A and B are shown apart, each in its own frame.
Chain A
């Protein structure tokens, strides 16, 4: 094995930035990796700025996340039957303690309509979700389609719970991921999205360098992502932990908030709040550098509470 330390020093001497590999789940859907240039809304050119010392979040705050799990349970001929469970939850924080405010779980049975029809009697508590049957049967392609449907179902649950929380409760809601899936979430003055993955990047060239080499405790100018999703949002990058010596994406999150003038005025303050959420660390999750503890807590809650995915006898 080569001496990686020495190699790193040599690469640094050559003008490169040594790294240790991508942080877990920072690439998002790797097959969708792309640059979609965003529109800057805060400054004429992309700037980075220190947000100041971390400060506590005032009042009540809640965290929203969802989990999913799927597995091939059977075949009808060559057509797979996929069983899945999706869940979403909101855990609200009062006096430093998180308690469940909302939770919802669904069991899904995914497959071609003919497969679902055969399995229906054996799966009374599973919602049937048909996957397209226009294409010739290919089990792998069906599996990809099923996974996409599970993603959507989980996303829909998250949106449902998030919207309900913002409607019924007075606190801020921190969402794991993008807000742009829901107009209600995206336009709420009390919703904040924290995205950990960077498959889609908003800049290229020198701006991308500035974006990805953001120092710890700094944020970028606010921009409007060029999203394929349904609702516009404002966003900015925020570096939670120093990345030097690790990876460009280490500790880098994209923060999203409502596309309003108030957001522009609040960007620094919101960033300082998020910086404060670095503690406690969400270890042992490998995404600890970007995963807020509140989100981690919701995820743990959902995962331990889930039912095993299995066919009823």
Chain B
């Protein structure tokens, strides 16, 4: 503890009356009116043959005043005179504490009467059962913050086995917006995991969805920390440093070259990659699009047909056309659809089926797939190969951020569904590159709402919550209103973290187990303080965590202002400069002048994908020879006939 010279004087004494008896799970103790005890303080009570640890959940104060009227009489009806009473009334400070642990654990008995002490460092370890996982040869403790009370301070650890699996898993964070609680907490916790996750438990990586603003856009940039924050880092045994290995992925804007993210400052371009998917990637997860409307099993079957037989393959159907179809892009797919419709129309009235698929179903699927191309322009490309996450090459202690803040909700769903599914597939096959992946999703009440429609994303989140831990796929989720998130998602989170809460939210039944005092504390929790539930902790514990050692979104945007949206050629030049700083805008402008934008995009994607030595030369080679359009000479026309009877003729 930080105050080793503190005398071991009791701060209170357990009392039990018929109306307020001590039980195996709760006890009451009184203290002096001036005492360091507060809601959330951890205390130790020593009784005969038994030590009990508890956390203060409520407090009471009362005097020997029988009725308020007696105070009025005593003060002659003058409130000012009441303050002048020569003797202060006898007053009690009585606290209720919930039992955290009893030693010995058996037989479980009511808390004996005895002196109450503030918990010391060792007491906190024992009270929270942290001795089971922070000591020994293979510790699995992950610092989550420091517990503070009465000038004492003790680190609090979570058990990695219960945070990342396999015993329990997932972490859910709740807190009001605007206090940086959720984002800061998850940033700190991820950093803590990366620094302390034991090697004997395997490798770990994080994948974060940035769903709003610049929140997670600067995880690789250091920030200024106060001395106090640095001290807390030291107390927790952590290094106050930003994440070392971060890769950002963001879709393009509709122009296909400017990135749709706030992380567009040139100094940050080196690890900011475009996220571009093609028809194949979209079609694999078309179910995401289907459940948004009333598309039926027939449409589902047709999409399966497309995915299995057509897209990415050579499809031959002499009835449609002589040449085989090679469907790789949305444009190819449109051509394929066109051929079907032409065929059906040619058959005439009464023929509305092609290969058992009704033409209406085919039209629905065509519209839906076309819709994603339109609404997700920038994410979905029609003119080039995909640029995807490094599946199979995830590295230990790496962070991958998918910035989908600027995407249409439908496209966000698509990204979410595909990425989670791919993670799951790779983890099942054990070929992702790491053993555990923490997926951070904010605004969970949007993706897994209690009363929202059944969506593919929600089903996926439920599946992830319930079965992800066996795979090493761990959900770190956050939301403002926990009560609005599907119970099975938050219920499966082994660890729950609460920042400052809204009183209306606290009034919902999900918080019924918290005392009124704990709710008040939660509603007024200062920045940097959290309430933590963890399987090893019998009761929620309040901890303080230091500021994350990375730039906040607001700071990051101020220090690295997003680059303005550039004209097409300049945007291409910027992307090429990320590969080779020697590339000049003028050179790129000269190269792309007169070229079709699709061709330029293809060349750019190829260059990014290949990352050649000579960037500009490779790009030039990809563009190919310039074919100047021939301008046909003007044809000599036939002079108009002049008619005399036409008075208006020229």
Name which of B38-46, B66-74, B302-310, B440-448 contacts chain A: B66-74
Name which of A119-127, A221-229, A258-266, A273-281 contacts chain B: A273-281
Q: Does B633 contact A (CB under 8 A)?
A: no
Closest to B91 in A: A97
Whether the Cβ atoms of B84 and A280 lie closer than 8 Å is: no
Interface residues of A in 21-67 (CB under 8 A from B): 56-57, 61
B 88-114 to A, binary, CB cutoff 8 A, 1 in contact else 0: 111000000000000000000000000
Q: Does A297 contact B (CB under 8 A)?
A: yes
Whether the Cβ atoms of B66 and A280 lie closer than 8 Å is: no
Report B74 CB to chain A, min CB distance, Å: 4
Report B7 CB to chain A, min CB distance, Å: 19
Whether the Cβ atoms of B86 and A281 lie closer than 8 Å is: no
Whether the Cβ atoms of A283 and B86 lie closer than 8 Å is: no
Chain B residues whose CB sits within 8 angstroms of the CB of A288 once the complex forms: 70
Q: Is the interface of B mostly helix, strand, loop or mixed?
A: loop
Whether the Cβ atoms of B65 and A294 lie closer than 8 Å is: no
Chain A residues whose CB sits within 8 angstroms of the CB of B81 once the complex forms: 279
Q: Complex formed: what's the CA distance from A277 to B85 in Å?
A: 7
Report A95 CB to chain B, min CB distance, Å: 8
Chain A residues whose CB sits within 8 angstroms of the CB of B88 once the complex forms: 96-98
Q: Does B514 contact A (CB under 8 A)?
A: no
Closest to B82 in A: A279
Closest to B87 in A: A293
Q: Does B137 contact A (CB under 8 A)?
A: no
Chain B residues whose CB sits within 8 angstroms of the CB of A61 once the complex forms: 86
Taking a contact as CB atoms closer than 8 A, the residue among B67, B84, B90 that contacts A56 in the complex is: B84
Q: Does B64 contact A (CB under 8 A)?
A: yes
Interface residues of A in 72-120 (CB under 8 A from B): 93, 96-98
Chain A residues whose CB sits within 8 angstroms of the CB of B85 once the complex forms: 96, 279-280, 293
Known A-B contacts A56-B84, A278-B74; A283 and B65 likewise in contact (beta carbons under 8 Å) = yes
Q: Complex formed: what's the CA distance from A98 to B70 in Å?
A: 20
Q: Does B75 contact A (CB under 8 A)?
A: yes
Report A289 CB to chain B, min CB distance, Å: 10
Whether the Cβ atoms of B66 and A283 lie closer than 8 Å is: yes
Whether the Cβ atoms of A281 and B87 lie closer than 8 Å is: no
Taking a contact as CB atoms closer than 8 A, the residue among B65, B66, B87 that contacts A98 in the complex is: B87
Chain B residues whose CB sits within 8 angstroms of the CB of A276 once the complex forms: 84, 86
Chain B residues whose CB sits within 8 angstroms of the CB of A293 once the complex forms: 85, 87, 89
Chain B residues whose CB sits within 8 angstroms of the CB of A308 once the complex forms: none
Taking a contact as CB atoms closer than 8 A, the residue among A56, A97, A281, A300 that contacts B74 in the complex is: A281
Chain A residues whose CB sits within 8 angstroms of the CB of B86 once the complex forms: 56-57, 61, 93, 96, 276-277, 279
Taking a contact as CB atoms closer than 8 A, the residue among A277, A294, A300 that contacts B64 in the complex is: A300
Among B64, B82, B84, max chain A CB count under 10 A is at B64
Q: Does A15 contact B (CB under 8 A)?
A: no
Chain A residues whose CB sits within 8 angstroms of the CB of B66 once the complex forms: 283-284
Report A173 CB to chain B, min CB distance, Å: 15
Chain A residues whose CB sits within 8 angstroms of the CB of B71 once the complex forms: 280-281
Chain B residues whose CB sits within 8 angstroms of the CB of A97 once the complex forms: 87-88
Q: Complex formed: what's the CA distance from A300 to B88 in Å?
A: 15
Report B461 CB to chain A, min CB distance, Å: 58
Whether the Cβ atoms of A297 and B73 lie closer than 8 Å is: no
B 43-71 to A, binary, CB cutoff 8 A, 1 in contact else 0: 00000000000000000000011110011
Report A6 CB to chain B, min CB distance, Å: 27
Whether the Cβ atoms of A93 and B74 lie closer than 8 Å is: no
Whether the Cβ atoms of A300 and B90 lie closer than 8 Å is: yes
Q: Complex formed: what's the CA distance from A297 to B89 in Å?
A: 9
Taking a contact as CB atoms closer than 8 A, the residue among A93, A281, A284 that contacts B73 in the complex is: A281
Chain A residues whose CB sits within 8 angstroms of the CB of B70 once the complex forms: 280-281, 283, 288
Closest to B90 in A: A297
Report A205 CB to chain B, min CB distance, Å: 34
Q: Complex formed: what's the CA distance from A54 to B65 in Å?
A: 22
Chain B residues whose CB sits within 8 angstroms of the CB of A279 once the complex forms: 74-75, 81-82, 84-86
Closest to B33 in A: A97
Among A56, A93, A293, max chain B CB count under 10 A is at A293
Report A192 CB to chain B, min CB distance, Å: 14
Q: Complex formed: what's the CA distance from A281 to B70 in Å?
A: 6
Taking a contact as CB atoms closer than 8 A, the residue among B87, B89, B90 that contacts A93 in the complex is: B87
A 272-313 to B, binary, CB cutoff 8 A, 1 in contact else 0: 000011111101100010000110010010000000000000
Report B244 CB to chain A, min CB distance, Å: 58
Q: Complex formed: what's the CA distance from A284 to B89 in Å?
A: 13
Report A292 CB to chain B, min CB distance, Å: 9
Chain A residues whose CB sits within 8 angstroms of the CB of B65 once the complex forms: 280, 283
Report A98 CB to chain B, min CB distance, Å: 6
Chain A residues whose CB sits within 8 angstroms of the CB of B87 once the complex forms: 93, 96-98, 277, 280, 293-294, 297
Report A96 CB to chain B, min CB distance, Å: 4
Report A290 CB to chain B, min CB distance, Å: 14
Report B165 CB to chain A, min CB distance, Å: 55
Chain A residues whose CB sits within 8 angstroms of the CB of B74 once the complex forms: 278-281
Report A81 CB to chain B, min CB distance, Å: 32
Chain B residues whose CB sits within 8 angstroms of the CB of A93 once the complex forms: 86-87
B 102-134 to A, binary, CB cutoff 8 A, 1 in contact else 0: 000000000000000000000000000000000
Q: Complex formed: what's the CA distance from A294 to B90 in Å?
A: 10
Among A56, A93, A96, A294, max chain B CB count under 10 A is at A96
Chain B residues whose CB sits within 8 angstroms of the CB of A281 once the complex forms: 70-71, 73-74
Closest to B73 in A: A281
Q: Complex formed: what's the CA distance from A124 to B589 in Å?
A: 110
Chain B residues whose CB sits within 8 angstroms of the CB of A297 once the complex forms: 87, 90
Closest to A241 in B: B73
Closest to B81 in A: A279
Report A56 CB to chain B, min CB distance, Å: 6
B 461-497 to A, binary, CB cutoff 8 A, 1 in contact else 0: 0000000000000000000000000000000000000
Q: Complex formed: what's the CA distance from A110 to B508 in Å?
A: 65
Q: Complex formed: what's the CA distance from A288 to B85 in Å?
A: 15
Closest to A61 in B: B86
Q: Complex formed: what's the CA distance from A300 to B89 in Å?
A: 12
Q: Complex formed: what's the CA distance from A278 to B76 in Å?
A: 10
Q: Complex formed: what's the CA distance from A265 to B200 in Å?
A: 88
Among B67, B70, B81, B87, max chain A CB count under 10 A is at B87
Report A140 CB to chain B, min CB distance, Å: 36
Chain B residues whose CB sits within 8 angstroms of the CB of A57 once the complex forms: 86
Q: Complex formed: what's the CA distance from A98 to B81 in Å?
A: 19
Report B70 CB to chain A, min CB distance, Å: 5
Q: Complex formed: what's the CA distance from A22 to B67 in Å?
A: 23
Report B90 CB to chain A, min CB distance, Å: 6
Chain A residues whose CB sits within 8 angstroms of the CB of B73 once the complex forms: 281
Report B13 CB to chain A, min CB distance, Å: 13
Closest to B74 in A: A279
Q: Complex formed: what's the CA distance from A61 to B86 in Å?
A: 10
Report A270 CB to chain B, min CB distance, Å: 14
Among A277, A283, A284, A297, max chain B CB count under 10 A is at A283
Q: Complex formed: what's the CA distance from A297 to B63 in Å?
A: 12
Closest to A301 in B: B90
Chain A residues whose CB sits within 8 angstroms of the CB of B82 once the complex forms: 279
**Contact surface of B with A, Cβ cutoff 8 Å:** 64-67, 70-71, 73-75, 81-82, 84-90
19 contacts between A and B (CB under 8 A): A57-B86, A96-B86, A96-B87, A96-B88, A97-B88, A98-B88, A276-B86, A279-B85, A279-B86, A280-B70, A280-B89, A281-B74, A283-B65, A283-B66, A284-B66, A288-B70, A293-B87, A293-B89, A300-B90
Given contacts A56-B86, A96-B85, A293-B85, 12 further A-B contacts (CB under 8 A): A57-B86, A93-B86, A98-B87, A276-B86, A277-B87, A279-B82, A280-B70, A283-B66, A284-B64, A293-B87, A300-B64, A300-B90
6 tightest A-B CB contacts, nearest first:
A279-B74, A279-B85, A96-B88, A281-B74, A284-B66, A281-B70
